[in-house]
C-alpha cells in the first residue's frame, strides 16, 4: 500500500483511539478494525459529495454498529463534509478536530452513538443494535420506489446504493434478521451489508452465544454472500464492494474477518478492546505498529491526508452531484409535474389541497368502527399525497390500511412492482418500524400498521422515530378489550400509557369517524414528529355535531363536547369508544338537573401543548368532581381528575369473552359511569 492510503487509514484509527481515550469512554476496537474498509468504501466507492450531504441521489452509508461512532466521526472530519443548518448546507465543516476532542461530552457534535440531525453525514440514529440494518432496508426500498415513479428514459435520477457496516451484535438481534429476510424477499440489489466478523462481544468470544454460519443463513434469505479473510486488504474489500453492486437482483452480504483493536499489542482480538479506552501504553504500542511518529500529539493529522481525501471522494462526489443537478434541471423542463412532486419531497412539503377529499361522516347512532373510517380517510389522503406509502404486519384486512389501486411493493416475480404503494411487511412488526424509519429518512411519507397490542414489538423503532423527529405514522387498531374473545394476550392495557409517556410522539385516540378525519388533518402535516393513531375494532356512534361541539376541537387535544350553563358539578372525560359512555351519563345527569360537562379527550399530547388558559377553560380548576373513563391502564389520567377524582379503567389484563360480557365484568357500563358521576357531582357542589 502506498503512503497516503496507509496514512489515511491509520489517521482514522488514531483519531478514533485518541477521542475515546480523551473521553475515557467509548469503543475503540471496532473503529481500529474497520478503518481499511471505511477507507475503501468512502475514498473509492461511495457516490457521495462531502460538499453537499443533502444531495438526493447520494449513496447512503449506515453505521449500524453505532458504538463505533468514532469511525464515522473521523471519516466525516477527514472527508470534509459540510455542515447543515435549518435544512440547508452551509460553508463550514460538519466536524473539526475540536469536535473530535469533545467526543461524548455534553452538547457536542460527537455524541456516543451517531445521531441524525445533530451531525451532518450521519444518515440515521444508530445505537440499539440491528436498527441501522432495518433502516437500511427502508432506505433501499425508498430508492426503488423513487426510481420506479420518477426515473424516465434519459433521466436516471435515482440509482443510489445503501451500504451498511454491521457486526456480530447486529447478527444476533432479531430485528436485523427480520429486515434481512424482507430484503431478500424483495430482491433489493441496491443494498450491501458489510458484516464485521471480529467474533468479539462485551462478554468475550462470540462462541459464547453465536456459533452458526451467518453466511449460510443469508444465502437462505436469498442474499449474495462473499467472505473476505483479511480485514486489512483494501483491494480485496473494494473488489467485494464492487462485486456486490454488480449483483442487482438481490442484496449482498460481505463477511469481513477483522481483528478488533488491530495493532494494540495486548488488547487486539480481545473483549477489552471493545467497550473501554485502550489506555496510554496500548495506544502508544498501536501507534508504533502503524508507524506513527513517536512524538506526534493526540489528534495528529499528517500532512497531505485531508488533501488525499479531497482528491478522492471530494473530487469524485463533486463531479457526480454537479452532473445530477444538471440532469435534474433538464428533467424539470421535460417533466415539470413530477419535478414539482420531487421538490415537495426534498423540501418536506405537502402538496396543495392534500386534504380536499377527506370525507365528512353523517350522524349515525350505529356508527362505524374507527379503523374503518380511518381506512376511508387514508385513501382520501393517499389520492392527493402520492408519495405516501406503507402497509401492515400481515394485518391489512383488519387494520384497513391498504391504498386502493396502489399496487403491491414487490419485485415483478412476486406479482408487483417497485412503484407499488402497499408494502407487505409480513409478520415482522419490529422490522416494519425500523423500515418505516428508513423510508422516512429518504423523504417519503411512511406508515405502518398493526394491532395496538403488538406495538410492544415496535417500541425501539417508535422511540427512534421520536428521537430522529421523523414523521412516520403508526396506525394501531383493536385498541381495547373490544377485541373480545381473543383474550388478554391480544387486549392492550398498558400500551396507551407507554406511547403517551414517550417524548416527541403525537398519540391520538379518536371517538368517532369525524374525529378520525380530523386526526388525519392534524397528523399528516407533522414534519418533525411521529404520530400514533389508535383505532377501534368495534363500531362507534358517529356524534351528531349539530347537537354537540364541532370536531375541530380535536386539534387542541381535548375539548368541551357538551356542557351545562355555568359552572359544572362534574366533568366527564374519555377517549375513543368510551366517549359514548360519558355522553350517555351526561344526558341522564342533565335530565335530573345535575350540572355536567363532557370532555372528549383524544390526545394528551395535543392538550399539553395548549396554553394554560385553554386547558383551564376545558377543565376549570375549581371543579373537583371529575370522572375519566378509558379501557386501558389508569396511568396518566390522575393529572386530569385529581386525587379525589374517579377513574374507570383497566387494572388487569382482561379476559376472553364476548365484548358485552367484558364491558360488564370490568365496569364499562352506562350504570357504572352514571354512578361514578353522581358520586363525583356531590363532591363538586
**Cβ atoms 440, 139 nearer than 8 A:** no
> Is 67 annotated as belonging to a binding site?
yes
The whole-number pLDDT of residue 1 equals 56
Domains of the chain in sequence order: 3-320 (3.40.50.970), 364-542 (3.40.50.970), 555-684 (3.40.50.920)
Residue 604, classified by CB atoms within 10 Å of its CB into exposed (0-12), middle (13-18) or buried (19+), is buried
Spatial distance between the Cα atoms of 660 and 404, rounded to a whole number of angstroms: 33
Spatial distance between the Cα atoms of 114 and 110, rounded to a whole number of angstroms: 7
Spatial distance between the Cα atoms of 553 and 560, rounded to a whole number of angstroms: 8
> Is 283 annotated as belonging to a binding site?
no
The whole-number pLDDT of residue 416 equals 97
Q: Which whole-number Å values give the CA distances from 642 to 532, 611, 619, 622, in the listed order? A: 26, 19, 11, 11
Whether residue 429 lies in the annotated active site: yes
Reduce the DSSP state of residue 531 to 3 states and report it: strand
> Is 607 annotated as belonging to a binding site?
no
Q: Which of 169, 174, 176, 20 is nearest to 100 (CA)?
A: 20
> Is 486 annotated as belonging to a binding site?
yes
C-alpha cell at 279: 489506555
Reduce the DSSP state of residue 576 to 3 states and report it: helix
Spatial distance between the Cα atoms of 122 and 114, rounded to a whole number of angstroms: 6
Cα dihedral value 557, 558, 561, 563, nearest 10: -160
**Cβ atoms 156, 56 nearer than 8 A:** no
**Cβ atoms 10, 290 nearer than 8 A:** yes
> Is 537 annotated as belonging to a binding site?
yes
**Cβ atoms 495, 480 nearer than 8 A:** no
**Cβ atoms 432, 459 nearer than 8 A:** no
Q: Which whole-number Å values give the CA distances from 470 to 440, 464, 674, in the listed order? A: 6, 8, 42
The whole-number pLDDT of residue 2 equals 63
Q: Which of 515, 510, 517 is nearest to 376 (CA)?
A: 517
Neighbour-count burial for 24-36, b at 16+ CB within 10 Å, e otherwise? eebbbbbbbbbbb
Spatial distance between the Cα atoms of 52 and 347, rounded to a whole number of angstroms: 15
C-alpha cell at 431: 422490522
> Is 408 annotated as belonging to a binding site?
no
Q: Cβ contacts of residue 205 below 8 Å, gap of 6+?
A: 199, 271
The one catalytic residue among 123, 178, 429, 518:
429
- Cα-flanking dihedrals φ and ψ of residue 650, to 5°? -95, 135
Spatial distance between the Cα atoms of 130 and 169, rounded to a whole number of angstroms: 8
Q: Check residue 187 and give left, alpha or beta (phi > 0: left; psi -120 to 50: alpha).
A: left
> Is 335 annotated as belonging to a binding site?
no
**Cβ atoms 582, 493 nearer than 8 A:** no
pTM for this prediction: 0.97
> Is 490 annotated as belonging to a binding site?
yes
> Is 168 annotated as belonging to a binding site?
yes
The whole-number pLDDT of residue 56 equals 98
Reduce the DSSP state of residue 173 to 3 states and report it: coil
Residues of the chain where predicted confidence (pLDDT) is lower than 70: 1-2, 684-685
- DSSP state, 493? S
**Cβ atoms 37, 238 nearer than 8 A:** no
- Find the distance separating the first CA and the last CA of the chain, reported in whole Å: 87
> Is 395 annotated as belonging to a binding site?
no
Report the DSSP beta bridge partners of residue 84: 89
Q: What is the pLDDT of residues 95-123, one digit of tens each?
A: 999 999 999 999 999 999 999 999 999 99
Amino acid at each position: 500500500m502506498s503512503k497516503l492510503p496507509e496514512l489515511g487509514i491509520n489517521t482514522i484509527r488514531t483519531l478514533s483511539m485518541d477521542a475515546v481515550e480523551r473521553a475515557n469512554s467509548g469503543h475503540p476496537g471496532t473503529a481500529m478494525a474497520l478503518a481499511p474498509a471505511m477507507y475503501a468504501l468512502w475514498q473509492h466507492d461511495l457516490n457521495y459529495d462531502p460538499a453537499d450531504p443533502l444531495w438526493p441521489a447520494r449513496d447512503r452509508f449506515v453505521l449500524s454498529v453505532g458504538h463505533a461512532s468514532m469511525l464515522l466521526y473521523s471519516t466525516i472530519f477527514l472527508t470534509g463534509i459540510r455542515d447543515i443548518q435549518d435544512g440547508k448546507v452551509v460553508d463550514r465543516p460538519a466536524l473539526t478536530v475540536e469536535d473530535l476532542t469533545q467526543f461524548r461530552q455534553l452538547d457536542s457534535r460527537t455524541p456516543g452513538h451517531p445521531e441524525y440531525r445533530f451531525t451532518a453525514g450521519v444518515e440515521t440514529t444508530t445505537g440499539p443494535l440491528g436498527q441501522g440494518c432495518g433502516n437500511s432496508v427502508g432506505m433501499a426500498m425508498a430508492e426503488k420506489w423513487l426510481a420506479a415513479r420518477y426515473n424516465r428514459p434519459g433521466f436516471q435520477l435515482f440509482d443510489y446504493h445503501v451500504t451498511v457496516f454491521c457486526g456480530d451484535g447486529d447478527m444476533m438481534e432479531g430485528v436485523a434478521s427480520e429486515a434481512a429476510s424482507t430484503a431478500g424477499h424483495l430482491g433489493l440489489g441496491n443494498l450491501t451489508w458489510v458484516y464485521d466478523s471480529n467474533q468479539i462481544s462485551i462478554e468475550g468470544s462470540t462462541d459464547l452465544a453465536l456459533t452458526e454460519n451467518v453466511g449460510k443463513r443469508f444465502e437462505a434469505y436469498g442474499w449474495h454472500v462473499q467472505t473476505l479473510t483479511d480485514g486489512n486488504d483494501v483491494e480485496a474489500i473494494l473488489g467485494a464492494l464492487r462485486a456486490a453492486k454488480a449483483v442487482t437482483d438481490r442484496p449482498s452480504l460481505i463477511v469481513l474477518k477483522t481483528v478488533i483493536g488491530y495493532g494494540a499489542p495486548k488488547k487486539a482480538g480481545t473483549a477489552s478492546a471493545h467497550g473501554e479506552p485502550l489506555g496510554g501504553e496500548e495506544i502508544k504500542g498501536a501507534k508504533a505498529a502503524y508507524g506513527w511518529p513517536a512524538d506526534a500529539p493526540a489528534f495528529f493529522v499528517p500532512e497531505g491526508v485531508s488533501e488525499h481525501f479531497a482528491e478522492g471522494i471530494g473530487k469524485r462526489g463533486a463531479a457526480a452531484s454537479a452532473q445530477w443537478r444538471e440532469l435534474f434541471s433538464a428533467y424539470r423542463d421535460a417533466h415539470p409535474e413530477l419535478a414539482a412532486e420531487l421538490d415537495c419531497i426534498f423540501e418536506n412539503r405537502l402538496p396543495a389541497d392534500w386534504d380536499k377529499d377527506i370525507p365528512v361522516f353523517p350522524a349515525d347512532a350505529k356508527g362505524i368502527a374507527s379503523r374503518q373510517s380511518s381506512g376511508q380517510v387514508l385513501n382520501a389522503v393517499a389520492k392527493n399525497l402520492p408519495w405516501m406509502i406503507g402497509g401492515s404486519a400481515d394485518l391489512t384486512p383488519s387494520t384497513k390500511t391498504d391504498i386502493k389501486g396502489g399496487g403491491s411493493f414487490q419485485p415483478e416475480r412476486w406479482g408487483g412492482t417497485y412503484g407499488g404503494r402497499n408494502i407487505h411487511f409480513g409478520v415482522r412488526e419490529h422490522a416494519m418500524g425500523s423500515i418505516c424509519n428508513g423510508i422516512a429518512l429518504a423523504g417519503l411519507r411512511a406508515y405502518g400498521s398493526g394491532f395496538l397490542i403488538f406495538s410492544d414489538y415496535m417500541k425501539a423503532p417508535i422511540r427512534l422515530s421520536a428521537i430522529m423527529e421523523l414523521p412516520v405514522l403508526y396506525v394501531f387498531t383493536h385498541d381495547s378489550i373490544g377485541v373480545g374473545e381473543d383474550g388478554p394476550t391480544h387486549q392492550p392495557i398498558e400500551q396507551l400509557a407507554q406511547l403517551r409517556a414517550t417524548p416527541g410522539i403525537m398519540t391520538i385516540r379518536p371517538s368517532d369517524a369525524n374525529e378520525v378525519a380530523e386526526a388525519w388533518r392534524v397528523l399528516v402535516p407533522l414534519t418533525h414528529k411521529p404520530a400514533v393513531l389508535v383505532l377501534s375494532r368495534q363500531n362507534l356512534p358517529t356524534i351528531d355535531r349539530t347537537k354537540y361541539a364541532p370536531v375541530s376541537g380535536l386539534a387542541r387535544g381535548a375539548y368541551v363536547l357538551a356542557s351545562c350553563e355555568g359552572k359544572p358539578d362534574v366533568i366527564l372525560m374519555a377517549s375513543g369508544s368510551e366517549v359514548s359512555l360519558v355522553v350517555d351519563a351526561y344526558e341522564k345527569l342533565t335530565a335530573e338537573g345535575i350540572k355536567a360537562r363532557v370532555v372528549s379527550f383524544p390526545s394528551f399530547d395535543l392538550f399539553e401543548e395548549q396554553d394554560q388558559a385553554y386547558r383551564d377553560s376545558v377543565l376549570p380548576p375549581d371543579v373537583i368532581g371529575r370522572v375519566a373513563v378509558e379501557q386501558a391502564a389508569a396511568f396518566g389520567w390522575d393529572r386530569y381528575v385529581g386525587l379525589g377524582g374517579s377513574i374507570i379503567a383497566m387494572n388487569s389484563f382482561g379476559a376472553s369473552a364476548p365484548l358485552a360480557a367484558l364491558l360488564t365484568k370490568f365496569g364499562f357500563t352506562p350504570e357504572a359511569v352514571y354512578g361514578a358521576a353522581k358520586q363525583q357531582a356531590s363532591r363538586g357542589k
